[in-house]
Structure 1
Amino acid sequence: MAMMDGIKRQLRSVIEWQNPDQDVLFMQWTENGDEIKNASKLIVGPGQGCIFVYEGQIKAVMEEQCLINLQTDNVPFWTTIKKFMQFFVSEHKVGIYFYRKTKILDQKWGTTSLIKYLDPKYQFPIGLKAYGNYSYQIEDAQAFFTTIVGSHGQVGIDEFRKIISARVIQPISDYLAECGYSYTDIDANREEIARGIAIKLAIVFRKLGFSISDFRIEGTDFDDDTQRRINRIADLTAEAQAAQAVGLDYANVQQLDALREAARNEGGVAGAGIGLGAGVALGQNMAQGLSLVAPAATPATEDIAGKLAQLKKLFEAELISEAEYSAKKQELLARF
């Protein structure tokens, strides 16, 4: 029985990665266990590479398409194997690994947590989410095996995508913090930001044994806290522009808002005894601030029509209420 087992171990076998699954990036050859038989052939197909591992360490790498006869060919790969094996039988762990050398295209990435940095223009914290795609390729099989594969018999493309996604956040955060882009500039400069991030990612991933290319940002979004700050800035900017359009500064607008709020709030100024009518009256007095933006004039020469036009602009810009507008309008008309 022992003799027959020895003869069986000497039978010819073929070591190759046949019909590799499109979702597999790295795979251990296990057709005949960990044993390499005498007179075997190694076939490395197009777009493939092959690694010989002995006791967890890489001893040889085949990076070119080839067909090698173990019994007759004298190449460094097989010479290395023979040094570690006696009659093609080893008491120690031997592994043959095949890997995909071709470029893996159109891979999706997305931030698994918020990218946080300080907005350089508005000086408030930003919480950014981003997603996009990229391509990659194994460049250094030895580094890739050491840092990624380890003791795993197989590494899939989906599994590897999770590894990449977990490692993109820090380079993206570093770049956004250094480049000085405000939240308003991100979408307009998406391509430039992607190029800058790709340079940082290339440095990180080169150490892991692969290169990344065609890195793109397809979309961005902000967390709820950041979105509230952005909306507040947008509202204040719109109010300031509306005030400027009717000849008021932003302080006037704030005073008008405070008066309207006091008139609506029974527990506020009105609750102290002024009342709703008093609040409206105060609004009417504030509307008289129109005289601040027009040259002072005597009652005999006052341009009532011009003030009515400005008053209408205030009302249309929603800087005064309808009640305030009507009261002031009647006051101006009474001057005729």
Structure 2
Amino acid sequence: MGFRDQLRSVIQWENPGQNELFIKFTENGDELKNASKLIVGPGQGCLFVYEGKIEGFFEEEGMYDLKTDNTPFLTTIKKFLTLRRDADSEHKTGLWFYKKADVLNIRWGTRSTITYNDPVYTFPVGLRCFGNYSIRITEAKNFFTNIVAGQELFTVREIQEVFVSRIVQPITDYLAKAKFSYAEIDSHINEIALYSKENTVQIFNDLGFELKDFRIEGTSFDEATQQRIAKISDMNADVQAAKLAGLDYAQMEQLKAMRDAARNEGGIAGLGAGLGAGMHIGNMMGVGNQMQNAQQQPPQQNVDDPMAKLKKLKEMFEMELITEEEYAIKKQQILDTL
């Protein structure tokens, strides 16, 4: 760089990176020339730090003159005469450019599950959320002083860390108060997002940002919650099947247990247990139209009547409570008593 270049220079933030929020101008070190020109482009701002203090604050786009106590010509001559390479000026300066335009579609997602109790099924729900948000720097000096703190580069990723650590609690609070069942979460996403934004805005205002937009794009449940949901789905399917058979859920469960016992125990003992249970259940409830008609008739047959036993045995076989082989064996035993 020649003397003429030292007496006048133009400084500007060219081609800012998409991920950059604050960046220090370091091309010429800490010494900015007297009467240097500063160009602040559209959507940009700039902080001028002189001897450790913010002395200039440029929010409007345009060209500015920077004044410092440095005299580059004299400093360079002094270096030349003394042959000292460390003869830097004691008047240290710095320029930090920052993005004033909106930063759009910043991704976010909860690292850990948001846990609350399902108000309908009374089991703990582990929920994860993800989405995007947009911000704008409104108090650059405040954010620079309290957060950036002289870092040469501060990126969008770092503000993401700040956001994610603060968004989980508002969502948890809202779910605890709103009492949405797990099945209602997706239909109330917009309400949850609005509440979360309203209860996070002040946090970002305090940091020097405006939270312009906040969206929840989707949710998911942890593995334990998915297992509980699967069990509930199976139970609901059984309830519907019981209604079609004219039974309530408790009766359906009794019949399933009785069928499993008959199949698992096997042999005559298992058949006897299944037969006894079947006769007991048959006296308590109707199974299909045949069992309901039987319930309406007054009990007049002796429990030892072979015909009654054969009838009950056939009903159990038709309900698949016993196998065909077990049915044939027990039927023959009853017939042998005649």
* TM class, shorter-length: 0.7 to 0.9
Report if aligned partners of 2:263, 2:322 keep a CA contact under 8 Å in 1: no
Provide the rounded CA distance (Å) in 1 between the counterparts of 2:250 and 2:61: 76
Q: CA deviation at 1:154?
A: 0.7
Matched with 1:228 is 227
Cα offsets for 1:30-57 (capped at 9, x unmatched): 1221122111111111000111235655
How many Å separate the matches in 2 of 1:32 and 1:24? 20
What displacement does 1:254 show?
2.3
Query: 2: CA distance between counterparts of 1:173 and 1:54?
Result: 45
- Alignment of structure 1 residues 4-23 onto 2, 5 Å: 11-23=7-19
Alpha-carbon distance change, 298 to 219 in structure 1, aligned in 2, over 3 angstroms: same
Distance in 1 of aligned mates of 2:268 and 2:90: 98
Taking a change above 3 Å as real, the CA distance of residues 274 and 128 of structure 1, as seen in their structure-2 partners, is farther
Q: 1:281 is matched with which residue? A: 275
TM-score under structure 2 normalisation?
Answer: 0.74
Query: Which moved further from structure 2: 180-189 or 283-292?
Result: 283-292
How far residue 96 of structure 1 moved from its aligned partner, in angstroms, is 1.2
Q: Tell me the residue number matched to 2:239.
A: 240
What CA deviation, in whole Å up to 9, does each residue of 1:9-39 have, x standing for no partner? 9621222212222332210111221122111
SS of match in other structure, 1:46? coil
Is 1:210 aligned with 2:204?
Answer: no
**Shift of the alpha carbon at 1:278?**
2.6
2:1 counterpart of 1:33: no
Corresponding residue for residue 297 of structure 1:
297
Q: Distance in 1 between matches of 2:231 and 2:213?
A: 36
Mapped contact 1:259–1:282 kept (Cα < 8 A): no
Cα distance in 1 for partners of 2:152, 2:214 equals: 29
Does residue 1:64 correspond to 2:60, yes or no? yes
Q: CA deviation at 1:102?
A: 1.0
Give me the CA root mean square deviation: 3.5
TM-score by length of 1: 0.74
| Contact 1:248/1:293, CA 8 A, preserved across alignment | no
Q: Measure, in 2, the Cα distance between the counterparts of 1:215 and 1:322.
A: 60
* Gap change, CA 1:30 and 1:280, over 3 Å in 2: same
**Aligned residues of 1:260 and 1:279 also touching (Cα < 8 A):** no
Unaligned runs of 5+ in 2: 73-87, 301-314, 332-338
* Cα gap change, 1:101 to 1:251, in 2 (>3 Å): same
Task: Measure the CA separation in 2 of the matches of 1:70 and 1:52.
Answer: 9
* Larger of the two Rg values belongs to structure: 2
**Percent identity over paired residues:** 45
Shift of 1:141: 1.0
Contact 1:256 1:283 (C-alpha < 8 Å) held by counterparts: no
Q: Is the 8 A contact 2:11 2:36 kept in 1?
A: yes
CA contact (8 A) 1:55 1:92 kept: yes
